[in-house]
Structure 1
Amino acid sequence: MRFRATIQNVPTFYRLIQTVEKLQKKCIINFSETSMRIICNQEEGGVHVWSKIRIDALFTDYRILSHSNNEITLNLPTDALSTALRSASAEHTGANEVVMKLAKKKNVPVLSFEIFGTTQMGRRVKVAHDVRIEVMKPADVALLTEPRCPEPDVQIMLPPLTKMRGVIERMRNLSDVIAVRANSSGCLRLSASTEVVKADITWNNCSHPRMTGDNPSQARAGAEDGRGEEDREPEPERPDPTHLFSVLVHARSLLKFLNAHAVSKTTIACICQGHCLILFVYIGDSTDVGGVLTFYIPSVLDD
């Protein structure tokens, strides 16, 4: 088993792990020949993450070899990984090359980070960080499954996550449960209430993206598909575009998701009414999506 890569985009990798670190103490990272997956299988009732990032969006000189279809899956602590990447991304290190590789130190498997930089005096220096890991067995990897959800009732482009975070932090003072509502006319509404007061925050004219195929990176904000009217298949009857579909979620779960503001440029929310909220955080520019962080937030049962 061999693995080695030069991290070309250290800041983005660091922000990804920063986001995951806020969710749980450990995460699973699967490396294959074409992609890296970051997986957080949170305890029941928590936030799940299942992401996929293109290798060329983060790495160069990428080499992987294993007996499991050239895939390697690691279980590792998020705080130690975040510390290593923070050191590599810090401006004062003068880092000009960061190499990540599998190694063994005192017969303990580690993910080793070698940071090569230059001092102000022009001397080349090397800093190393080792993150202790568990290499997962193929049988255990096979048990990892993405959460199964019904077809979304509506999907909508979210406003900037930093703005949403401020709103939800204030709403949490009213209630730990927040209703997320949206319709296909571009209305997004967040609601929190108590026995004596209710607060609603509404965004109008939000884009209503289409999710084509099974790949969320193919989402398009209302763009036409280019076919003529005579080539289109008859569309099923659509529900009232002003009808608001809703899901109740814990405010703390939303706030955990909103830590993704550090990496998000475009975020799409999908509401599966009464079941869950699915959030796609796109990495990179809209014209060159490097990957997607997918968050699953389960619904709170409405008694």
Structure 2
Amino acid sequence: MGSVVCSLDAELGWGFHDLADPPAERVESGRRGWNVMLELLDEFDVPATWAVVGHLMLDSCDGTHADHPAPEGWFEREREEWADREDLRFGRELVEGILEADADHEFASHSFSHVLFGDAETDHELATAELERSTEIAADWGQRIDSFVYPRNDVGHRDVLAEYDVSAYRGQSPTRDGVRGVFDSTIRDRSMVVEPTVDEYGLVNVPASMFLFGFEGPARTVAESIWTDPMLELARRGIDQAARSDGVFHMWLHPNNLTSERDDRRMRAILSYLERRRSETDLTVETMADVAQRVRRSRGVDGASNSADTQAKATWN
């Protein structure tokens, strides 16, 4: 029996604050896409793993973060250019939407301030500070962190995740994005189903299968004019492959990828297809925490998380 996992990197402005020239359209689409995805996931009853940047859950801050061992200038955009853009820095009502949703979403972490864990400048102290602050904020909301999604999929400091009792992380995809990914899947018939594994720290690596917005711009427009939406076609293939196997098809996106109604239609079509295949087969939908719990139990790993059964969605206040 295969399964499908959907994870979202929920970050608003924090996904771009360190970039010299952030993509304006995506920066401004974070809230829109977040609400659209909540509505669609509820409509099709798809529980997802929402990996939230912890800073979004704060009431306010002055942007100094004096006790945080971040590199010099890390919070500069928050203090200066975005000082009056609370809509990019905070998102309490959006996180409340996750916890109050009809779909049984998993609350997960995307770090505190979108630090790149695999970067050479990110030392153990900084990684620890990011996990510690995220864990503290989650606890204030009555939540715990069982799954972690690395900012920009830059995997590193897995030992720190283990120290903070994280059970799972989204590992790097064995497949390629964009045109190369379409070629591998459709021409080479390469499977997009992944096999979760337990690493040396006892963490369950739930690798990504497919970034749902890895084929954009003019190439997408041309492909849609002569064929179909390539990402929709690949998502259908991945869902079908999971339905025929015991593996996992793990699709992921950022809410800010939904910049227009065309992007909304892509996600509606994917989730509609998933709903149909789930009704026709034994295919299930899991969160990353569900996968970690199942894998660790099946392999007799101690300390299997039970948060998928006990996470209290209504105790965040």
Q: TM-score range by the shorter chain?
A: under 0.3
Alignment TM-score, normalising by the size of structure 2: 0.24
Higher relative contact order (CA 8 A, sep 6+): 2
Larger Rg: 1
Name whichever structure is richer in helix by fraction.
2
Name whichever structure is richer in strand by fraction.
1
Alignment TM-score, normalising by the size of structure 1: 0.24
